[in-house]
Each structure stands twice: as structure tokens, then as C-alpha cells.
Structure 1
């Protein structure tokens, strides 16, 4: 699911991203704070990410653990590259994603982004 979501992220497929986010999404960003509006998250992605930033997963860093009667928690490291400044350095940042299994589908309910 991570690959599907971040392919949509890197290619600015906002409709696909919105379909994967739960309606009651909670997005905790270490510098941006808490966002609880799915549309607000999509709007911010369109404004600040689309065409400007690319996400790359750090190979071997992802850990996924099942959560009984809920879904799973995913943790790992990734880098973000500024497409407008290709020579800018990027450092790994930690992420935690809560995935909920709902009606044979997976939804992101919580994201913690730590830079």
C-alpha cells in the first residue's frame, strides 16, 4: 500500500491520495502541526508538493506490524528531494502511518511525519 500511495504522491494523483486517506485522517507534522481535514491535506499537497517534491523510500527501513482488529502500523525512513533545487541535499526522515482495514480496503487514518 505504501508504494501505491506514494506513487500517487510523486505523480500528483490527488484523487488517488484522497481515496486512500480515511475521512477522519489525522496528520501530525513535526513542524506543521496537526491537520484533520482530508481536503486540507490534499490542498496542501497540491500547493506545496505537486511538481516540487519527490519522495524516495530508504530501502530496508520499513517495518510493518499488524494491529489486531484494526489494521497495521508502518514505520520507516524516507527522503524528500526538492525538484526545484536538484543539488540540494536531503536527509532521511522518519514516518509512521496507521493503516485501517475497512471493508476489504486499506485506509490511512494517522500519519506522523518527523523531519
Structure 2
């Protein structure tokens, strides 16, 4: 998502301040809306040290893991075959949903605004 101009400005800022920068991203995903591919070019020309994350750790189910490997290996038909073997989740999991809206408040418009302001904090608390 970084254009040539943005990359130049960042590089100039880093060099001018005597700092270091770490660039994170996937050159295959979000492409720049403006001209240039500085991230991809830096990698392909060996201008920056590059680490590749290739371990698949999110999928624990063997069928889904196999389908992901098929996608990585550009075998969509095999991936779809595996996914068709995957049955629905029958455990019936439930999830608690946090509500910050005070339904008993007299002014529901104000209550909605307050609830909207409280929501990020409630989500963070629930996550932590």
C-alpha cells in the first residue's frame, strides 16, 4: 500500500533522524493505489533483509490444514475437495456478547452515544 513517493518520504525521515525502520507486510496483498512497488522491489533486489513466514498455525483441523496447504500450492480443486469433506461444527458453541447499552435510560439517543463510547473499552476488557 506504499507508493514510491511515500517510501521515499519514510526513508528520508528515517535517514535524517538516524533511526532504523522495520517494514512489515505481504507484497502479494494490498497494492499501492499510487505509482510504484517499493516494497516488492526492495525484496526482489535484495535491498532489505527479508524473513518469510511459512508455518501455518491457525488451522488445527487436519482437513482445513490440508485445504490451506492446497491453496498455498495453487491447487484450488484439491482444496475444494477437502473443504467439501468438512462437516459442520456440531458442538454448538455459544459466545457471550457484551452490551454497553443501558436499555432503561430515559434518553435512548444519549444512551446509544454513551454505549458507543464504552464499547471499545468493554471489548478490550473482555479480550484481556
**TM-score band, normalised by the shorter chain?**
under 0.3
Q: TM-score, normalised by structure 1?
A: 0.19
Highest Rg: 1 or 2?
Answer: 2
The structure in which a higher percent of residues are strand is 1
The structure in which a higher percent of residues are helix is 2
